[in-house]
A and B are shown apart, each in its own frame.
Chain A
Amino acid sequence: MASDDIRALSEALAADPASLAFVPLGEALRRRGDLEVALRVALRGAERHGTRPDAHDLVARIAVDLGDLERAIVEWETVLRIDPAHAGARKGLGFICFQLGRLEEAASHLSVALSLSPGDGSLAAALQTVRDELAVREESSGRSTMQFSREAMAADPGGAAVRQRQTADPPARPTLGLAAVREQPDADAGALFDDLLEGQRSAAMLLDGDGLVLAGRYVSADGRDLAALIGAQLSGVSDEATRAMRHLGLGGWRQIVFETEAASVAMAPSRDGVLLVAAARPIPLGFVRRVLERALARAVEWLGGAA
């Protein structure tokens, strides 16, 4: 959601504090990463509209992003007291229980959620993973712990949001995120740049003007595709560059490269969108730029004309 919309919603709420504008506003702030502000907005709304499940659901999702799982549990349990058939709350509690290793409870919540939303493929995959985990636990004496990905939850609340970090030696099995990715029909677009990259340590994606992924992927070490999240976060940089170019007298921008603690990122404009390459820091910056150029040529070809 654009800053304009956030502004409009916040003014609508200021004009009428009793309105329900706090729900989309809190959600927009959460997606933008303004978690503290989002939480304040949501808590105020939940206080005023205590019987609305969406108000408590919003607080819960923000709490998850903030890592405050206890609050998330309380809020989602409140949602279920108001509306026992709330699939989102079941899903959320399922994921938290999974993270906490409470696998039976996780399976129970996810089963109910799946019965409420039978068409939700990510739920089916999640439930299967939990059941696999339960089976492994029964078979193995090794202890396992799970870690919840707040980033993935933020990008896809209740979706591909769990990753596993095994301290024992676990049998290989698909993560929830990977299962969801495999269900995507347009698998060729995801693999568009794979042969140009340095194995798992780099990624390339083509984004449209709204920051949505057109092609490519960003697969994390645990197998999840984070392209949508990474793309959404980084695409705003190109907007900033476009504005700068209008005023600096240097012509159009061709490339932005920046180095962070974890990655080197390179981006270039492509039609109405942007092509983005990210590589783990040990990979030299020059290589990243070279991959960007080659990926740009590939994107042009794939889009069927001039970039």
Chain B
Amino acid sequence: MSSVFSTLTESLIRHRGVLGAMVVGLDDGLIVESTLQIGVNGNAFAALTASLYRKARRSAAAAGFGATGFLELTAEQGRVCTAGGQELVLVVVCESRVNVGMLRVELLRAAEQLP
């Protein structure tokens, strides 16, 4: 049975280079919905990325920059992109070669549907 959010994660994982897409609780860092390739540790990405996003939001707000939208973390062996609402965030795990520009647009569009 597909949930309200499964269409979001399924459309995101179709992008080339995307290894996993999740809807995650912003405050608790728990997965609400996920579409993951085998071998991706969804729980770890969900908890740690939600925490990073929370920190960025709080810091940016405290610095007077206002609300945070899109966040991208680039690492030596991949990327994690996030965008979210007040309660839920979308977390996308990708390879380095992913087209970030396209993914960012999709992610921001999808995030508009999150509470």
Direct contact, A vs B (beta carbon within 8 Å): yes
Q: Which positions in A face B, CB cutoff 8 Å?
A: 33, 151, 229-230, 233-234, 236-237, 240-241, 243-245, 247-263, 265, 278, 285-286
**CB < 8 Å neighbour of A257 from B55, B58, B67, B72:** B72
Knowing that A233-B63, A249-B77, A251-B76 are A-B contacts, what are 6 other residue pairs whose CB atoms are under 8 Å apart, sorted by A's residue number?
A248-B44, A252-B76, A258-B60, A258-B70, A260-B68, A278-B65
Q: Report the minimum CB–CB distance from B94 to chain A (whole Å).
A: 10
Q: Which positions in B face A, CB cutoff 8 Å?
A: 41, 44-45, 48-49, 51-52, 55-56, 58-60, 62-78, 80, 101, 104
A254 touches B75 (CB 8 A): yes
B52 touches A244 (CB 8 A): yes
Q: Using A33-B62, A244-B52 as known contacts, say yes or no to A254 and B74 having CB atoms under 8 A apart.
A: yes
B67 touches A261 (CB 8 A): yes
- A285 and B101 CA atoms in complex are apart in Å by 10
- A240 and B48 CA atoms in complex are apart in Å by 8
**CB < 8 Å neighbour of B66 from A151, A236, A262, A285:** A262
Decide if the interface of chain B is mainly helix, strand, loop or mixed.
mixed
A247 touches B65 (CB 8 A): no
Q: Using A244-B48, A250-B76, A262-B65 as known contacts, say yes or no to A237 and B56 having CB atoms under 8 A apart.
A: yes
- A233 and B68 CA atoms in complex are apart in Å by 14
Which chain B residue shows the least CB distance to A33? B62
16 A-B contact pairs sorted by A residue (CB < 8 Å): A233-B62, A234-B60, A237-B56, A240-B56, A244-B48, A244-B73, A245-B75, A248-B41, A251-B75, A254-B75, A255-B73, A255-B74, A256-B72, A260-B69, A262-B66, A263-B65
B55 touches A240 (CB 8 A): yes
**Interface centre among A151, A244, A254, by most B CB within 10 Å?**
A244
B56 touches A258 (CB 8 A): yes
